[in-house]
Structure 1
Amino acid sequence: MRVVLSVLFTIIAVPVFAAKPNIILCMADDLGWGDVGFNGNETVITPELDRMAKAGIRFERFYAAAPVCSPTRGSVLTGRHPSRYGIPTANQGHLKRDEITLAEVLRDHGYATGHFGKWHLGTLAPDYSGKKMRNPEKNYMTPGMSGFDEWFSTEYSVSTWDPYDPKNAHNGITDPRVLFFHNGRNIEDGPAEGLVGDTARMVMDKALPFIEDATRKDQPFFAVIWFHAPHLPVVGGPEFLDMYPGLDENTQHYYAVITALDRQIGRLRNALREFGVAEDTMLWFAADNGPEGNPGKKGRSQGTAEPFRGRKRSLYEGGVRVPGLLEWPEKVVAG
């Protein structure tokens, strides 16, 4: 992740980048090194990510800041080691107000800033934390308090399909405050607002209008798109499950949610071309850590870090070496 931050801070500081390129940081949740086609998996269907890899840079050694999610996410936004900014592990602490984030710096340089998807850097309500591992009032810190003008976010992971359906609830928690907030408003009845089906699509449905609006205003934008897939609860949609006949049920669901995520990457890349800003946009894709090693109740953590040893929560390569891509037409050499 240091590569990402070094490039971004250079763009901010060096006058030669006066054009202010757009910046999009896409992140998958618990995606293993071997869970994508461009790293050699011949079963999973990821055509859009594979095209992105061919069109841009595929990093051979791309490391997360930590083997679990919250620390990595905070490091991405601050450029600092987790032990320095105060979130050493998942579901603990919050991004402190005195930390300077990329969103704040870029906003000061005229960028529109938006966060979409999983947050995991503090609670989104001062009186509630879903997993009860954070003191909600003490650790209240939303994307809006961290430099993001627009945000559509969840405190932590939610089901990858129909997250408002109680049977898909993470750890059996059905309180709507576990689910999406839009600019501080908790969306209590998601289906009434069209939040049904694929969670990755819901996230992209909010990100694309933000990008289009900034483009229409001729304003550079910084979009952080943090998908929930393939973190538990892993629930694949029917269309995507049908793409994996002959596999066991758990693997079908796992690969289905990755393919659903991949489709949204395709929507994003197509939209950038449609809006006429593809050549002016740095598009990053990575994962926050290695694949889950604890299958949980649904038993659908089928991810792989092959050929590396270790998984999520491990400091072996498989826990921190993650898929990494950068596409920036005419600025980086394809391949």
Structure 2
Amino acid sequence: MKSILSIPVRLIVLMTLIAGVSCNTNSKETADQSVSKPNIVFIIADDMGIGDLGSYGQKHIKTPNLDQLAQGGMRFTQFYAGSTVCAPSRASLMTGQHTGVTHIRGNGEFPLRGQDTIIPQLLKKQGYRTAMYGKWGLGVQGTPGSPEKKGWDEFTGHLHHVDAHFQRPDSLWTLTEGKSVKIATPEDSYGNNIFTQKALNFINDQSEETPFFLYLSFTVPHAELVVPEKYMKPYLDEDGNSIFAPEKAWPDGRHYGGQPFPKAAYAAMVGSIDDYVGEVVDALKKKGLDKNTLVVFTSDNGTHIEGGRQRSDVDFFKSSGVYKGVKRDLYEGGIREPFIAYWPGTIKASEVSDHVGAFWDILPTFYELSGGNPEGINTSGISFVNELYGKPEQKKHDHLYWEFYEGGGKQAVLKDEWKAIRLKVKKDRNAPIELYNLANDPSEEKNVADDYPDVVKMMDSIMTASHTENPLFSFDK
């Protein structure tokens, strides 16, 4: 029996079915692409040392939430900050450029330029909603680096980096109708409590349809050692004294607020970060967003010795771990940071990575995760997406380079197991180079420059090639 459908009709039906399959496939691909773009939460501490977390060896300070984050994800052992103080480190993070290239290479109110394309701008083009809460320091109101000009949909925090020195600000900046405006804060409120609550509100307002990038930039454990009482309690005895006695009090009347127990306060500030991170992760889980959200935690540079904190305190807590140096040093303790990546179901639990990375790698990594091509952007970095996925074909740096303009000028290069440091560059562009073999001497105790002149020569050539002149930060001034 013949079909009741004529050949032309059957052709039309067949073509319709094919078109339908094609449309459904495209729709599915589009949906999958949308779902495959992960939310990204990037949390950065201010002046936390690599040894301040339990997962990195800390014995005195309790950090259960961050330790759990590390246990549930990937803990990097050789990840580096962009610089050894906050402004250039954060500029390196945002621009994806090392300090031999990026515009901002030292502290101060030097704004990002109009031509500097940064992470939130790239992610917005990929369909992300962007929010930042906390310390900015890369452009005050009216400059090209002001948050509303750099891709942020939402912002509440400090524009000027000095304002971020104080833990109980009387005002903060926020974005209102696309403009930066200053608002008063509740009396005796703590800035980081406000930033965390803003982050929680932002997470609760998100849906699965639109990916988001949340940048939570704390101002602790920076040098004003002032912290909510509930975080101090675990580090005080029954009489209200520090459990880390003897303590040397920091008096009132100086730039940073007074603190009778600097060691206990520092521990409490690290503990407060741990609590805030726990709240953020819990909010993601309650919202059902955790499986499609990459959470990264790190610090902008090494631990500090300011505001009442002394070198002996650093040694007591082993805040720099086994490494030499603190904030403002280009030794490992000033730039090697805690770096934890957590993404349940994508990043395997309890992973430890010895991948050598730096802040300038974060921009190409996030851009690739968003669906962009990192090969097509201007960056010093290398995407480490494959490392996060556990794939073996991860690209590696030939070397890493830093320069810093305080203390007479400094340069540093890391290549394979070799670390080279040049000090007092402003006095002499050809000042002697210190050389360390980190494989044998991670604490940088033995300068072996005299034993390896060929390696020193190689490192010198890398320093020369990596440095570009910058009128704001010149080694000749």
TM-score range, shorter chain: 0.7 to 0.9
Answer yes or no: is the 8 Å Cα contact 1:67–1:290 preserved in 2.
Answer: yes
Deviating runs (4+, > 3 A) in structure 1? Answer: 15-18, 179-188, 298-303
Q: 1:250 aligns with which of 258, 262, 267?
A: 262
- Give the CA deviation at 1:199: 2.6
- Give the CA deviation at 1:48: 0.6
TM-score (norm 2): 0.57
- Match of 1:320, as an amino acid? I
- Give the CA deviation at 1:65: 1.3
Aligned to 2:202: 210
Aligned residue runs from structure 1 range 247-326, under 5 A: 247=244, 248=247, 249-293=261-305, 295-296=306-307, 298-299=308-309, 302-303=313-314, 304-326=319-341
CA distance in 1, matches of 2:111, 2:149: 11
Q: State percent identity of aligned pairs.
A: 31
Q: 2:169 aligns with which of 140, 163, 168?
A: 163
TM-score (norm 1): 0.81
Residues 92-130 of structure 1: per-residue CA shift (max 9 Å, x gap):
42111111111111111111011110001121x24xxxx
Aligned to 1:331: 346
Q: 1:154 aligns with which of 154, 158, 161?
A: 158
Residues 113-166 of structure 1: per-residue CA shift (max 9 Å, x gap):
11110001121x24xxxxxxxxxxxx55222211111111202253564333xx
CA distance in 1, matches of 2:133, 2:291: 22
- Match of 2:164, as an amino acid? V
Aligned to 2:221: 230
Q: 1:221 aligns with which of 192, 212, 216?
A: 212
CA distance in 2, matches of 1:305, 1:151: 32
| Number of residue equivalences | 289
Higher RCO (CA < 8 A, seq sep 6+)? 1
Aligned to 1:6: none
- Give the CA deviation at 1:308: 0.3
Aligned to 2:390: none
Answer yes or no: is the 8 Å Cα contact 1:254–1:300 preserved in 2.
Answer: no
- Match of 2:276, as an amino acid? Q
CA distance in 1, matches of 2:183, 2:37: 38
Q: 1:190 aligns with which of 185, 188, 191?
A: 185
Aligned to 1:100: 117
CA distance in 2, matches of 1:145, 1:250: 39
Aligned to 1:145: 149
Within the alignment, does 1:121 sit opposite 2:138 as a pair?
yes
Within the alignment, does 1:181 sit opposite 2:174 as a pair?
yes
Aligned residue runs from structure 1 range 42-121, under 5 A: 42-121=59-138
Answer yes or no: is the 8 Å Cα contact 2:75–2:339 preserved in 1.
Answer: yes
- Give the CA deviation at 1:333: 0.9
Unaligned 5+ segments in structure 2 are 1-31, 237-242, 248-260, 351-477
Unaligned 5+ segments in structure 1 are 1-14, 127-138, 165-175
CA distance in 1, matches of 2:66, 2:338: 10
Answer yes or no: is the 8 Å Cα contact 2:133–2:217 preserved in 1.
Answer: yes
Which structure is higher in strand share? 2
Find the residue that maps to 1:204 and give its secondary structure.
helix
- Match of 1:209, as an amino acid? N
